[in-house]
Structure 1
Amino acid sequence: MRIRLLGGLDVTSPDGGRIRFSTRKTSLLFAALVLAGRRGHRREPLAEAFWPGRGDAQARNSLRQALVDIRRAFPGSGDAAIQIEGDQETVALKAGLHEVDIWMFDRKLEEGGPADLAFAADLYRGDVLASLAIPEELDEWFGSYRSTYQRKALQLVERLSFSLTVAGSAQELACEGLAERLLVADPTAEPCHRALMRIHVNRGHGNAALRQLELCRAALKKHLGVEPEAETKGLATSLRTDKETDRPEASSFHIIPQPPVLWPQATHSDRPSVAVLPFHNLSGDQTQDYFADGVVEDIITKLAQFRHLFVIACQSSFAYRGEAVDIRQIGLNLGVRYVVEGSVRKAGERLRISGQLIDSSTGLHLWADRFDGSLVEIFDLQDQFASSIVGAIAPRVEEAEIERSKLKPTESLDAYDYYLRGIAVHDRAVISRESIESALQLFMKAIERDQAFAAAYARAARCYASRKSHRWMADRAKETAEATRLAKRAIELGRDDAIALSYGGYVLGYVGGDLDDSALCIDRALLLNPNLAVAWGYSAWIEACLGEPDKAIERAAQAMLLSPRDPRLFALEFNTALAHFCAGRYVDAIGWARKALRSQPNYASAIRIATASYALEERSREAKEMISRLSELDPTLRLSNLSDVLPPFRRPDDRTRYIEGLRRAGLPE
């Protein structure tokens, strides 16, 4: 998309540069032309609305000047994709349907298929011009558009929720994302609460659906002083009725399943498989059972967003409620390698959740931790606990799988084993030309054995990004083309794979130089899996490159919160350093870069940021020490070839300061 109005005004040129109009009034005039579509506006009412209180001649002259400014932003011949057209009476914007998000949004609503509605849901990133301050005289003009598209978005989320059939589908994720975005703006939007209730039911999470009802009721009472609508209550009643038929006794809102039935060991796949058992309620208060069940359902939902994990549905794992069954036996019965168990204890206004991850084949505890919090916001606390536990479990499962793969003889390795070995070399070894080459070969072997393995393509492409950042490319043009090919193939195969989108999107941005497509990929990855630390990390890098350093720092912090023991923590620390550098906070940039270098002393990108920051802080001794270290790693690096490794900064000043810092530090011409 070149023109985006949903969520704010964002306009990019054909070469990917961000277009900024000379005044706010010009920006709003451009937005008004976009909203009018190809029918355009009559000049006279447009001039009166935007320049009230002026004479007709002066207002029309101001309109003409603003239109000239807009035309300058889109230079080109008569074949240009975006043009301003008109005559003495009217003026209109000419652009392709695919160039404008709000036009495409309307088209997809009109086409109306589930995939079309999901596409429209992904486009709706917020209200029309949400981040743009609109003066009072134009509030009515734009207010009607905002109201119209808010109504369309609410209708869309409900339409999409009725069309859902397959849990975990792209349509379901798009619907969930839209509902959550709309609720941030308006917590009382009942269609969104109902949509989320239907999604929870579609996933088999009845407790989460009823919890959503309580969130809806609390929001309505707090903000409007009213009860939920009849339609919302009716949906909740049907949920409770369905639950009653599934259990012998009614008690609170949780399902009491049938006793477990032992069956022969299942074999779901060669991928890691996890079962989350019901958490023990140690509070002595049975009314807290629904909270413990809700935590488990959230953990299962969030774990299921990691596509490399096979996660047992709660209907199966909840069958073990209250049963003293050996963990190894549960692993055999459910066919899982890993089991999560835990407990919930309430004491006054404090709550403690404990959890542990166990290898079902050995009975060994791979991870254990506890999380404490206040009951003031109990449902927010539930989400926080679930995210924290998932952020700890997912990396530990990957670590265990890597160790398991290492024990296999070479002749029995499959695509996933090669993929895991590649991760171990790329992420956990000290960076070197040899380690990156070894990782690349392992990922390519994974692709040979499974040519639809999206994440393997993405990780192979990422190896080329490492080669670029250290200037290890032997044939820059050829390897850049190969990296881009692999990244695009990963994105094509992995539209619903957050890992593939994260790594593939990053490569498009750093190696391919396409920050806009890179940002789209990472945004979709976060929509698919908001608990994926690597997606938040790459989002931080993109925001820094786009000139939004404070956003970048927040996103890197979220990544580190989700995965505080991440083996690639050094990359998150570097992204934070890069953001501080872009913000001109060189002392902070130095601190974060040095953190990254503790675990990866050969990390050239971190050395360059530290070097430039020391120089710009006029700490010449440290700058020269760093430039010496950089020269040892890359003896042929010069100011003349520095562009080979530079991030694709959107703001020219960031690039200029980066180069100037290295020049002051003593990097040769």
Structure 2
Amino acid sequence: MTETASAPGPSFTLSLLGRFELTGPNGVVSLPNKKLAGLLAYLACTAPQPQYRERLSTLLWGSHFDAQAKQNLRQALFKLRQVLGQGALRSDGEFISLNAAVVICDVRRFEELVAKDSREALSAATDLYRGPLVDDIGVSEEGWRDWLAGERERLSELAVGALVALGESELTQERAGHALLAGQRANALNSLREDAHRLIMRALSAAGRNAEALKYYQAVVALLKQELGTGPDVATNSLAAELRKVQEQRTAPAMGEIAAEQAEHMIGNDRPSVAVLPFQNMGGDTEQEYFADGITADIITALSRFRELVVIAAGSSFVFRDKGMTSRQIAQQLGVQYILSGHIRKAGNRIRVSAELTHTGSEAQVWSNRYDRPLVDVFDLQDDVSSSVAAVVAHVVRSAEIERARRKPPTDLSAYDLYLRGLHHLWTGTREGVIKAIELLRQSLGLDQERTATLAALAWGLVMAPPLGANTSPDAAAEALGLARRAVEQEAEDAFAHAVYGFALFGPAGTNDQGRIHASEAVRLNPSSAFAWGVLGMIDSMGGDYANALVCLHRSLVLSPDDRMLHLWMTGLTASYFALGQYEEGIAWARKSVRHNPSNGTGHRMLAANLAGVGRLEEAREVTRIRDATQKTTIRDLRAMRFFKQHEVLERYLSAQQAAGVAD
């Protein structure tokens, strides 16, 4: 006998790709248990095909006795009809099916869109695929687990195929960024699909990131060898060969193009310029040759993120490989003030990278270093060395330029020279230094009001003046915020400007979340910037994410171990260790901080607080007496500064300061 129902009731929408969600005319509908949801999901995925009752009872109640399993199925069907209406389920003797006119399921719609294969349909299909099929329904029945695993794999592969096809379509429309996103999404679903890897390589190349595409290919080779014990297929290897030809063409510009690039950098530009020559492979291994070129390209990319430098493009630098020219001759051809060169040697399971920076005018070597690293992950090694070299080289060039500006007669100072002299005083971290820096930076802005770096540096000086005991006007914090905002608006890719703006927002302005966003953007824009990592670490140290603060601040110290800002980042470390209750670590870093800069008032206060934390009150009070002799601070002042944004930590810090002898 056939069970028929009255006319279908109102439609329901069932989302199964990702989390299970049933929505009816009045909003989200909650089902009483996971098995009921599983039953509905299975009927929706197989609709409109009827399903044998015994199959359904085994699927979800296979571990029960047969009679109990059938009874459970009857009760479940009764409950579903109560929720969905009598017309939602069709019963024909021993068969049950879901009425697709009543329950609209995203799985069916997803499959229909994939089958259409148009760009619009594929885009809609990939938007529907939000995750594995019902990834929040756990039913401990073997039948259910087997069916679900098979369906998840099938739908996931459909999604990967749709994403790859969508990406290919985006490439034909010259939308490389959209194609790259599609490839990355496909790779996240199945990291062993070579068609997704090829899409990513083509998208990177189309976006002008050909060297990155070749580096990605090397990662694919390593992945396939590790996971499958095999290499890439013919199509992937052929694509890599094509990309190598493109790279050779891009890195061999005509001399006229080099001259044009030289003119572009030299005309009206007072920033220091750097050329990075191809690092020499001292081995003979072809694979090591690729590594040497990769290191060079990555250093060029990392250095170019420091906006105060002009960095010659790889195409112009690589053309001088094996030309037998001296650094001075190359510098004259490129019109640069600094040449960075180096070589790479493999010894056993270690790689040694040597680098040196030469000032081309005097032919003096201004810096050299050697990096010895274990050869574990070649790509991590490449990133590590290139970031470290770029961070130090940027710092050394800046220091050399500051010294050059300091030697010039006062009557010959340009806006840039005044800016450099201001930086020299700004990084001293003293009250007198920050006062002089503000004066010089204001003079520089008087001559050039549009220089982003000067705007950001002056904003930083105004923010740092109060903690260093320098008197500023009542509207100094607002002025700093305005200057930093102008700098970011003027040059949205400037990591230094974003870091300063983030700190200004987080500290004096009190806009905590927005401040951290800009500091994080600074790190994204320039992962080699010790300043960006330091500011993000300070913000997290004050804001309560102490574990991440430690990561960021230690990263800053590694990137620039001789930086004049070390005392500030060390203060962030001692504050984080105080907040975490690790007072001995806090004491160690506080001592390093005040040794590095004896004028660092916050470093002294943090030292006293950590000493009080371990009960060494006499030592803590002695630190307070020494600091009060230079700059007296009260509990009221410290509460107003609100170094720690978390109430519990702030109160613990103030109690420690009281114990250390700070007056109310």
Q: Partner residue of 2:240?
A: 236
Q: Partner residue of 1:469?
A: 467
Shift of 1:162: 8.3
Q: Partner residue of 1:530?
A: 527
| 1:501 and 2:498 matched | yes
Cα deviations across residues 447-486 of structure 1 (Å, max 9, x unaligned)?
333333233222212112212324544544x222222222
Report the Cα distance in structure 2 between the residues aligned to 1:509 and 1:342, rounded to whole angstroms: 41
Cα deviations across residues 549-593 of structure 1 (Å, max 9, x unaligned)?
121111111111111121211112111111111111111111111
Report the Cα distance in structure 2 between the residues aligned to 1:458 and 1:515, rounded to whole angstroms: 19
Q: Partner residue of 2:333?
A: 333
Which of 600, 604, 621 is matched with 1:603 structurally?
600
Cα deviations across residues 610-648 of structure 1 (Å, max 9, x unaligned)?
11111121111111111112212323x221232332225
Report SS of the residue matched to 2:297: helix
Cα deviations across residues 11-68 of structure 1 (Å, max 9, x unaligned)?
xxxxxxxxxxxxxxxxxxxxx9x99999998354177579999xxxxxxxxxxxxxxx
Report the Cα distance in structure 2 between the residues aligned to 1:582 and 1:641, rounded to whole angstroms: 19
When structure 1 is superposed on structure 2, of 258-267 and 512-521 the one drifting more is 258-267
Q: Partner residue of 2:476?
A: 479
Q: 1:605 to 1:296 in 2, by over 3 A?
A: same
Report the Cα distance in structure 2 between the residues aligned to 1:587 and 1:446, rounded to whole angstroms: 44
Which of 624, 644, 662 is matched with 2:657 structurally?
662
Report the Cα distance in structure 1 between the residues aligned to 2:375 and 2:301, rounded to whole angstroms: 22
Q: Partner residue of 2:444?
A: 446
Report the Cα distance in structure 2 between the residues aligned to 1:217 and 1:387, rounded to whole angstroms: 24
Aligned residue identity for 1:213? Y
Which of 505, 509, 512 is matched with 2:509 structurally?
512
Report the Cα distance in structure 2 between the residues aligned to 1:178 and 1:518, rounded to whole angstroms: 31
What does 1:288-299 align with in structure 2 at a 5 Å threshold?
288-299=288-299
Aligned residue identity for 1:461? A
| 1:45 and 2:30 matched | yes
Q: What is the RMSD computed on CA atoms of the aligned residues?
A: 4.3
| 1:652 and 2:650 matched | no
Q: 1:656 to 1:222 in 2, by over 3 A?
A: same
Cα deviations across residues 494-537 of structure 1 (Å, max 9, x unaligned)?
32110100112111111111121111001111111111111111
Aligned residue identity for 1:347? A
Aligned residue identity for 1:45? S
Report the Cα distance in structure 2 between the residues aligned to 1:227 and 1:564, rounded to whole angstroms: 41
Shift of 1:398: 0.7
Q: 1:241 to 1:466 in 2, by over 3 A?
A: closer
Shift of 1:361: 0.6
Report the Cα distance in structure 2 between the residues aligned to 1:194 and 1:293, rounded to whole angstroms: 24
Report the Cα distance in structure 2 between the residues aligned to 1:175 and 1:656, rounded to whole angstroms: 52
Aligned residue identity for 2:305? Q
Q: Partner residue of 1:490?
A: 487
Q: Partner residue of 1:120?
A: none
Aligned residues: 540
What does 1:66-145 align with in structure 2 at a 5 Å threshold?
none
Cα deviations across residues 362-419 of structure 1 (Å, max 9, x unaligned)?
1000111111223342232222221221122111011111112223333443333222
Report the Cα distance in structure 1 between the residues aligned to 2:663 and 2:446, rounded to whole angstroms: 43
Do 2:308 and 2:453's aligned partners in 1 also have CA atoms closer than 8 Å? no
Shift of 1:217: 2.8
| 1:614 and 2:611 matched | yes
Do 1:221 and 1:227's aligned partners in 2 also have CA atoms closer than 8 Å? yes
Do 1:204 and 1:314's aligned partners in 2 also have CA atoms closer than 8 Å? no
Which of 639, 646, 655 is matched with 1:643 structurally?
639
Do 2:20 and 2:136's aligned partners in 1 also have CA atoms closer than 8 Å? no
Report the Cα distance in structure 2 between the residues aligned to 1:572 and 1:327, rounded to whole angstroms: 37
Q: Partner residue of 1:323?
A: 323
TM-score scaled by length of structure 1: 0.70
Q: Partner residue of 2:9?
A: none
Q: Partner residue of 2:430?
A: 431
What does 1:192-341 align with in structure 2 at a 5 Å threshold?
194-195=199-200, 198-199=203-204, 202-203=207-208, 206=211, 208-223=212-227, 235-242=239-246, 246=249, 266=263, 267=266, 269-341=269-341
Report SS of the residue matched to 1:355: strand
What does 1:164-179 align with in structure 2 at a 5 Å threshold?
none
Aligned residue identity for 2:246? D
Aligned residue identity for 1:214? Q
Unaligned runs of 5+ in 2: 1-16, 39-82, 84-129
Report SS of the residue matched to 1:371: strand
Q: Partner residue of 1:586?
A: 583
Report the Cα distance in structure 1 between the residues aligned to 2:165 and 2:456, rounded to whole angstroms: 36
When structure 1 is superposed on structure 2, of 463-472 and 616-625 the one drifting more is 463-472
Do 2:252 and 2:315's aligned partners in 1 also have CA atoms closer than 8 Å? no
Report the Cα distance in structure 1 between the residues aligned to 2:179 and 2:538, rounded to whole angstroms: 27
- In our comparison, the structure showing a higher alpha carbon Rg is 2
Do 1:468 and 1:511's aligned partners in 2 also have CA atoms closer than 8 Å? no
Report the Cα distance in structure 2 between the residues aligned to 1:180 and 1:563, rounded to whole angstroms: 33
Do 1:158 and 1:192's aligned partners in 2 also have CA atoms closer than 8 Å? no
Report SS of the residue matched to 2:278: coil
Shift of 1:296: 0.7
TM-score scaled by length of structure 2: 0.71
What does 1:625-640 align with in structure 2 at a 5 Å threshold?
625-635=622-632, 637-640=633-636
Report the Cα distance in structure 2 between the residues aligned to 1:41 and 1:656, rounded to whole angstroms: 49
What does 1:177-188 align with in structure 2 at a 5 Å threshold?
none
Q: 1:241 to 1:562 in 2, by over 3 A?
A: same
Shift of 1:195: 3.9
Shift of 1:186: 7.7
Identity %: 31
Report the Cα distance in structure 1 between the residues aligned to 2:591 and 2:171, rounded to whole angstroms: 48
Report SS of the residue matched to 2:663: coil
Aligned residue identity for 1:643? R
Q: 1:495 to 1:161 in 2, by over 3 A?
A: farther
Report SS of the residue matched to 1:320: coil
Unaligned runs of 5+ in 1: 1-31, 54-88, 90-126, 166-170, 248-254
Q: 1:262 to 1:450 in 2, by over 3 A?
A: closer
